[in-house]
Amino acid sequence: MLNFHRATKSPFIVNPYPYFNYNPQTLNYAIFRKNGGILDKYTKIRYTNMLDAQLDAIYSAMKRIGYGDVQIMIGETGWPTQAEPGQAGVSPDYAASYINGLISKVSSGRGTPLMPGRRFETYIFALFNENLKPGPIAERNWGLFRPDFSPMYNALGIMKGQVGTTKHQANQHY
């Protein structure tokens, strides 16, 4: 597959989700908030956000098998605004921290510790909440917007209007 990407000069599309790997102790690290970082014992690099660590892990594996020149694209990533009761780190505020940090990170042109200066074309999951989707509560609440087009939170200060959810809105089906 990586040979195909090299030959066609197309990016390898990955879906890094720090949400699926965080715990209460690594929450700030996962959502781009100030933290002490985590030292990678193999590279001796101190990572200050989980996305960089995930992208560098992918790059390291690709480089090891001879494909370090293939570009990486983020096909989807995001953070839910609601989850099971009592789950730490899930709210519109936490989702806004992740999305705002993500946009700042990928638009900065800084790259990652192992890929300095690299830019990553990035797509946010998801545009809308999926209130009728089966499964855990979080699976229905990744959207930047509710189905009625009102924003879930104010991403980068550009999403105007009433943000957040009320108990009534969270339980509505559209």
Residue 84 designated active-site:
no
Among the options 76, 121, 160, 167, which is catalytic? 76
CB count in 10 Å sphere of residue 109:
11
Among the options 34, 44, 133, 167, which is catalytic? 133
Among the options 41, 84, 121, 139, which is catalytic? 139
Measured distance CA(84)–CA(31) in Å, rounded:
19
Among the options 34, 130, 160, 167, which is catalytic? 130
Residue 121 designated active-site:
no
Residue 130 designated active-site:
yes
Give whole-number Cα distances, 100 to 37, 87, 169, in Å: 19, 21, 24
Give whole-number Cα distances, 140 to 1, 5, 23, 84, 132, in Å: 32, 33, 20, 11, 7
DSSP-derived secondary structure letter, 82: -
Residue 139 designated active-site:
yes
User: What amino acid positions are annotated as catalytic residues?
Assistant: 76, 130, 133, 139
